[in-house]
Each structure stands twice: as C-alpha cells, then as structure tokens.
Amino acid sequence: MPAPAGHIGARVKRGDDPRLLTGRGRYVDDLTLPRMVHVAFVRSVHAHARLARVALDGARRAPGVVGVLTGEDVARLCQPYRGVLLHYKGMKTGAMLPLAVGRVRYVGEPIVALAARSRAAAEDAAALVDVECEPLAPVLTPAAALALGAPLIHPELGDNLLYETRLAAGDPDGAFAAAHRVWTRTFTTGRHTGVPLEPRGLVADYEPATRALTVWISTQVPHMMQAVLAELFGLPEHRLRVIAPDVGGSFGIKIHVYQDDMAACAMALTLGRPVKFVADRRESFLSDIHAREQTIRVEVAADRDGVLTAMRASIEAAAVPIRPIRARAWWKAARCSASCRVRIACGTTTAPCASSRRTRSSPRSTAPWGIRSPPRSPRAWSSSSPAISGSIPPSYAAAISCAPRTSRTRPPPATSTTAAAITPRSPDSWRSRRTTASGASRRRPAARDGTSGSGSRASSN
C-alpha cells in the first residue's frame, strides 16, 4: 500500500506531546484517593536463607501504621502460582506467593508488607521489623545451579533444572568428522534490566460491600492483569477493573506479575481501603525483572572452501528461556547439519530473569511469571531448513498453574445486589458502558481521580 502523500520525510507531530509536555499527564503516583494508605516492604538481604523469626511488635505500634501482612497472612488470600510456558513440555518451576514463606530465594524478595498513612511512616515502621535468617548456600549462576550437588532452591522439584530440550538435524557428527576445519567459541551475555523513568507502581481500591477491586497500575498488559488478579484472589472478573493510565516507560519490565504488586492488592483486600505502592529506584534495581544472562557454546565445521557444513551448540540460561528461540535462526541461516542442547536453569538465587522486550504476539505471551494465556501451536520450521527433531516454539505463551491448598480465606461476600458490572465495548476501547441491575445502561462516569478516562486503558468485564 503506498504511503499517504506528504508524509514521507515529513515531521509528524506526536498526538500525546501537548498534553504530556504541559504537565497534564496522569500517572499512577498522581492518583490520590480518600483514606488512601501507602505500603512499604521489608525485603530479604540474603540471596538464599531460611526465615527463623519475624518480630512485628515494634512495627505494629509505630505511628501511622494501619496494617501489617506476613507471608502466612497473604497465603490465606492469594493462591500460590507457578509460571510455566505451556509449549515447553516438562517445564517446571516452584510455587510463588506474594510474600516469602519459610525461605527467601533472592536479595530483595519481599517478606513483610506494612501500610501506613504516609510512605515515610511505612518505611519507618519497616525499619522496626526484626527478621532473623539462617543463611543458606547461594546459587549465583546457571552453571552453579546445574552443577552436581548444587543446593536445591526449590527442594520439592528435585533439582534446579527448569527445562531442557535437544534439537537435531542431519548428521552433525559425520559432518564434523569429515570437516576440513572446526571453530569453537563460547559467548556469554550479562544480565540487564529496563530502567524506565517511572518505576513500577499501583493503587488498589477494594470495596468490601460489593467485592469489587479497582487497580490503577503502570503496566503494559491491563487485560492480562485483570485475569491474573481475578484468578489468584478468587474474585469474579466482572468485579475486577484494571486501569493503565499514562505509563512512563517500561522496556518490557511492566509485563510481569510481581510479588510486591500482589502483596499490595492483598493489603487493599485486607483493609478495605485504597493502597498505593510505588517502588523507589533502589527497590526497582532489587526486584524488577532481569534479562539475557546466557552462556552459549558453539562449534561450526567447514569444508575446504569455507562453506559451513555442520554446527553444534549448547545454551545455558538463567530462570526462563529467552534467546534459545534464536536456535531456529541458526539452522535457517546455515542450511547445514546441526544439533543444539538447550538447558534452562531456574534455581539461581539472583533476581528473577526473563525477557525484557515485547514479542510479535499478544502482550500475554511475553511474561514468564504467573501469566494466564491459552497454549499456542508451534509454528512450522522453515521448509528450506533441514528436518529438525524437537521443537522450541516461537512465542512465550504461559499459564498460571495454581497450586492446590486445603483452606483459603476469601474477601467478604457482597452485601449489595445492585452493584454495577462494567463491560467494555472492545478490549482496546476505553469507552465502556455501565449496566445496572435493572438493565438500564449509561455512559461510564468520570474516574474517582477526577479524570474522564481519556488516555487510559481500562480492563473490565
């Protein structure tokens, strides 16, 4: 399709610039609600340790404190969940909860959540929490996690290997035996993380009378977050609304389901009043998702003319598969016999590692931790490539797997039968209608923060 006349090479004004540059943007931290409290966290200072004692008496008596939650408290509200990629047969991972229970597995993992009338009061109270830990041996690299006799980060899994697969095409061993020359190289990529101007943050407002939860969150995936929150906290989706206002950058880190975000929502359900959590920069570096850490060993064989005839490779990565998808491109480019072994180490005691970029598929398909998404069929490999056994699917579809539990405390039931249910006209439209119990419909009113909803993405059923 030809480009519209006059646009090629021309400067095009960005539609949002006038509003943002004149200070009319609306971010999560701009939102203030009546009776709102602020939450702060006590985080682990150990990469791997057993929680021996958590003393809260001093924090509970601190000025301005209105609520304190531990891992055991939150476990009665939120289901434990496992983030798995459905395409990867045999993938496993340990169950997660919003706050640590019994053991911490990385520096920065939240242990206690405290709510107070100001962020300063919440942080002062957090300093009064006395946490005693019994340090355990840390596991800091994928190689260490996969080594014989390595400490088990999730003992119930039996080892630290999240996923392993092997791919093969042609006769690589025969090609290497007949090769004129063989090259061997090892490549390592370090970790990195996105550092947006606006850190992660949310405001959660729970109304006990109607069991309705509204969450304003700096996220790239409001519709996914609605489904995740509804499933983890046992709320009907039509009672849960997720709004993504202006987002001050993400670089992929705001696609994931974070423990502290879930803990803040649990605090709102416990108190029945609005709760705000906005991470500071230090918290962001400790708890935001990391990416890219891999060790890639490659051997290539060539004939006398320098034409590649075979390739062998192995990939060890931390936490979740990211770049192993690139193995498909190697075969497509080389057109040769090849074999590849992909090993993903989940049991490192560093911050969780994941992809920090968006894929070509839906936003649900990029987050490894606690995502709820239907399985996708792997695409066929290129017909011009050799026949390949094994598969690495191209998308990152994942699913929540809620661990069973014998007992669970849910939020109080609704006491009103006239609560309204919000239904969007389309998944990407902010223009929603409110349908009352009588069947009448009207335009959605302005949000409680005084905005009309323009520029925000809302998710509700």
Q: Which region among 126-130, 344-348, 422-426 has the lowest average model confidence (pLDDT)?
A: 422-426
Q: Which residues contact 89 (CB under 8 A, 6 or more apart)?
A: none
% residues pLDDT > 70 (the chain): 68
pLDDT of 314 over the 60 cut: yes
Tell me the pLDDT tens digit for each residue of 220-253: 999 999 999 999 999 999 999 999 999 999 998 9
Q: What is the pLDDT of residue 284?
A: 93
Helix axes 222-233, 259-271, angle to 10 degrees: 60
Q: What is the pLDDT of residue 76?
A: 95
Query: What would the mean pLDDT of 447-453 be, rounded to a whole number?
Result: 43
Tell me the CA end-to-end span of the chain in Å, nearest whole number.
Answer: 37
Do 399 and 86 touch, CB atoms closer than 8 A? yes
Q: What is the pLDDT of residue 436?
A: 34
Tell me the pLDDT tens digit for each residue of 247-287: 999 998 998 899 999 999 999 999 999 999 999 999 999 89
Task: Report the C-alpha gap between 25 and 370 in whole angstroms.
Answer: 30
Reported confidence tier of residue 343, pLDDT bands at 50, 70, 90: low
The string of DSSP codes covering 343-401 is EEE---SSS-B---S--SS-GGGG--SS------PPPPPPTTSPP-BS---SS--EEEE
Q: What is the pLDDT of residue 52?
A: 96
pLDDT of 91 over the 80 cut: yes
Beta partners for 183? 300
Task: Report the C-alpha gap between 319 and 163 in whole angstroms.
Answer: 9
Q: What is the pLDDT of residue 204?
A: 98
Beta partners for 50? 103, 134
Q: What is the pLDDT of residue 33?
A: 97
Q: Which of 446, 426, 444 is nearest to 435 (CA)?
A: 444
Q: What is the pLDDT of residue 349?
A: 62
Reported confidence tier of residue 339, pLDDT bands at 50, 70, 90: low
- Is 41 in a helix, a strand, or coil? strand
Q: What is the pLDDT of residue 405?
A: 42
Q: What is the pLDDT of residue 448?
A: 43
Q: Please indicate whether residue 373 or residue 333 has the higher confidence score (pLDDT).
A: 333
Reported confidence tier of residue 308, pLDDT bands at 50, 70, 90: confident
Query: What would the mean pLDDT of 398-417 be, rounded to a whole number?
Result: 40
Q: What is the pLDDT of residue 317?
A: 82
Q: What is the pLDDT of residue 27?
A: 96
The most confident of the ranges 184-188, 335-339, 360-364 is: 184-188
Task: Report the C-alpha gap between 264 and 271 in whole angstroms.
Answer: 11
pLDDT of 377 over the 60 cut: no
Do 259 and 96 touch, CB atoms closer than 8 A? yes
pLDDT of 45 over the 80 cut: yes
Amino acid at 290: H
- Domain ranges within the chain, ordered by starting residue: 138-377+390-461
Pick the CATH number of 138-377+390-461 from 3.10.129.10, 3.30.365.10, 3.60.150.10, 1.20.1260.10: 3.30.365.10
Query: What would the mean pLDDT of 117-128 be, rounded to a whole number?
Result: 97
Q: Which of 46, 54, 49, 94 is nearest to 71 (CA)?
A: 54
Query: What would the mean pLDDT of 160-175 be, rounded to a whole number?
Result: 84
pLDDT of 417 over the 50 cut: no
% residues pLDDT > 90 (the chain): 46
Distance of CA 337 to the CA centre of its chain: 37
Q: What is the pLDDT of residue 9?
A: 85
Do 26 and 449 touch, CB atoms closer than 8 A? yes
With 0-12 / 13-18 / 19 or more C-beta atoms within 10 angstroms meaning exposed / middle / buried, residue 213 is: buried
